[in-house]
Structure 1
Amino acid sequence: MKSVIKVFNKCLEAVCIFIFAFIVVVGSYQIITRYVFNSPSTKSEELLTYSFTWLAMLSAALVFGKRDHMAMTFIYDKMSQSTKKILSIINEVLVLVFAVIVLIYGGIYITRLTATQLTASLGVPMSYIYVVVPLSGFITSLYAVLNIVQILKEGE
């Protein structure tokens, strides 16, 4: 199972790296057209905004899955192993509930709601932008379940 998770992590990392590189290229293009040619591109600004949204949502899911997110652990570190295990499971369950209710359910709702709405300069349906919310919710939920399984196996 760990090898499948590693492959999934690498694929998600590759997607995030690609989006980040895309943001750098489009951002550089935006700067050049604005300051060198004195004719800013409105399409590139919209592309940057939506690409950043995708990057933030997918990266957040990835960081959660790898357990690399920020945490203040000074109290947690002083607890017993059994208490740490219980708190870790509670934490993962709370994240799972949040991901299912807010990200997946809410994301599907907002994606459906904006299906007929088009972006200002690109003319792309807004649902294409918002579909990343339930997608990241699904990824986060998957990671939460895998993390719970891993926490339970650690004690055996």
Structure 2
Amino acid sequence: MPRRRPKKLDQLLGSQRLQQFADFTEQHQRWQQLLRDCFEKHSLQQLLPQCEVIAVGASALILQVSSAPIAQRLKTDQAGIITYFQTHATPAVTSLEIRVRPGRHVKSTETPPAPVKVEVKESDTVRKLREQAELCEEPLRSQLLALADKYSSP
């Protein structure tokens, strides 16, 4: 089988496929901007990092989200989103399709807050264990007392 010669840069840059890709990329950026504007208007900005427009076509707006609760939240505002895209998008949008793809859109670079440690004095915990032991029957009573003895300060 003969090897094909690599294409020259001029051939690649002038190709129809590259132009189609550039057009789609530009259209996708416009859809994302419309989505940002729509979410801002409907007070949904906090959901934007978890949502992406996949396509607008065949009278449907197709969004991809990272979780079912976000999808449910968008479904509650479905009418407003469709109305916004009907007036601002090039193809007329009459329906909203939401696809859930977990773990794909977490764009936030913020680190989650550290868990808050609650300081509990051992004596309080031991006292509560002993109080609960008094209210219980065996074998739970002896197990709670053994636990209280284990954590009582010497």
TM-score, normalised to structure 1, is 0.30
Task: Give the structure, 1 or 2, with the largest relative contact order (CA under 8 Å, sep 6 or more).
Answer: 1
Write 1 or 2 for the structure with the bigger share of helix. 1
Higher strand share: 2
